[in-house]
Chain A
């Protein structure tokens, strides 16, 4: 690698952007310390309030731009819940919409330069996924009682296979929160880390003649990755939400 000779000039810290730091100095991060997590979550809350409360203040029959964005988001998630989880899942719509808004705004705000991506942390997505998992399991047992367990007993399979399938189903059921959380955090983290690695190559032109080629290429790569990340940021929020709907459907109608 050509950069190896000049690595004293380049700085590779792809994971530094994910560090949790106290906002007002100090080293220890206690439970209530205001950190950059606090800051960016507050910005997320403010943006959501701005779009959905301030943007719809006109209550216009013919919507303004922000109001139609808010209506579009509402319609998008509402339709998703209705189509995937069924009509009786609509009473959980505010819960699902909260998850969707939080994730989509965190992902998008995390793409701003110098921003901190709250959804790139396992702690955050793990809590989101566990909340979904626990809620859905509780709903399943409350709605269906013990017959919720028939979710694991595939009645369409031959009788001999059913115990084996039950074991597989139970494992896959408990892997759900793991994959649910790691998918989101991993996607966010990977994209940002890759952008950061490309960004580290960008100043090479200052140190070496090879940089004449490498610097434009890395800037081009950053641009391309950024575009991909915008798409990924939305798609991951969509996937998280739709999987929540799928799990909710399993809880409401376990007999498949």
Chain B
């Protein structure tokens, strides 16, 4: 133990560690600073001062402020939630109204389409009837004209046949009686 600094304090013999440990403050205070009763009054006084200071800082300023902040936040959250709820209800209502309007519009559209269709159908039927009537009239007229033409044609054929018969008879050199030829042709045509 070549102790240069604490040669007087280390009187405990063996146990160099503890000796060195204890020697450091053996001169000033024996043992633990915690058990030095002369500092107790000082510590207790300043502790009480500090505690009172902290208590007043916290209870007068800090805690009301923090609880106010927390209450504000809670209130804000609650009111925001309520507002959100209200908006949601509004949105649901709006959607319902929209759907209703949509359904109405659809029904209206279907009605309009049906009406239009019926109108068109009616127009169409009318036009068709008119066209049919026109066509029938035209067909009747045509049939009449065909009849006329046919009648004319038959008359013309009889005339041609009579004239041709007269000519043929004349070529044979005989005097033909026009009345007889005509009667013969007539008979022939009918027969």
> Taking beta carbons and an 8 Å cutoff, which residues of A are in contact with B?
1, 3-4, 7-8, 10-16, 18-20, 29-33, 35, 37-38, 41-42, 44-45, 48-49, 52-53, 56, 59-61, 63, 67, 70-71, 74-75, 93-95, 97-98, 101-102, 118, 120-124, 127-128, 131, 185, 189
- Known A-B contacts: A8-B3, A97-B63. Give 19 more (CB < 8 A): A10-B20, A12-B24, A15-B25, A35-B46, A45-B50, A53-B65, A60-B69, A67-B69, A70-B62, A71-B69, A94-B55, A94-B58, A98-B59, A101-B58, A122-B35, A123-B43, A124-B43, A124-B44, A185-B34
How many interface residues does B have (CB within 8 Å)? 49
The chain A residue sitting closest to B77, CB to CB, is A61
Q: Roughly how many angstroms separate A10 CA and B4 CA in the complex, as a whole number?
A: 12
Q: Give the interface centre of B2, B38, B42, B55 by most chain A CB atoms within 10 Å.
A: B42
User: How would residues 106 to 131 of chain B score, 1 for a CB under 8 Å from any chain A CB and 0 otherwise?
Assistant: 00000000000000000000000000
Q: Answer yes or no: B67 CB below 8 A from chain A CBs.
A: yes
Contact present for A31 and B24 (CB under 8 Å):
no
Contact present for B69 and A56 (CB under 8 Å):
yes
> Taking beta carbons and an 8 Å cutoff, which residues of B are in contact with A?
1-4, 16-17, 20-21, 24-25, 28-29, 32-36, 38-51, 53-55, 57-59, 61-63, 65-70, 72-73, 76
Contact present for B17 and A1 (CB under 8 Å):
yes
Contact present for B50 and A12 (CB under 8 Å):
no
Given known A8-B3, A45-B57, contact A56–B21 (CB-CB < 8 A): no
A-B contact pairs, 12 of them (CB 8 A): A7-B16, A10-B20, A11-B24, A13-B24, A35-B46, A37-B46, A45-B53, A74-B66, A74-B70, A94-B59, A121-B33, A121-B34
- Specify which of B32, B44, B46, B73 is in contact with A15 (CB 8 Å cutoff): B32
Given known A8-B2, A52-B66, contact A41–B50 (CB-CB < 8 A): yes
- Specify which of A4, A29, A31 is in contact with B16 (CB 8 Å cutoff): A4
- Specify which of A38, A61, A101 is in contact with B76 (CB 8 Å cutoff): A61
The 6 A-B pairs of least Cβ separation, nearest first, read A52-B62, A41-B50, A94-B59, A12-B21, A20-B39, A13-B24
How far, in Å, is B2 (CB) from chain A's closest CB? Answer: 6
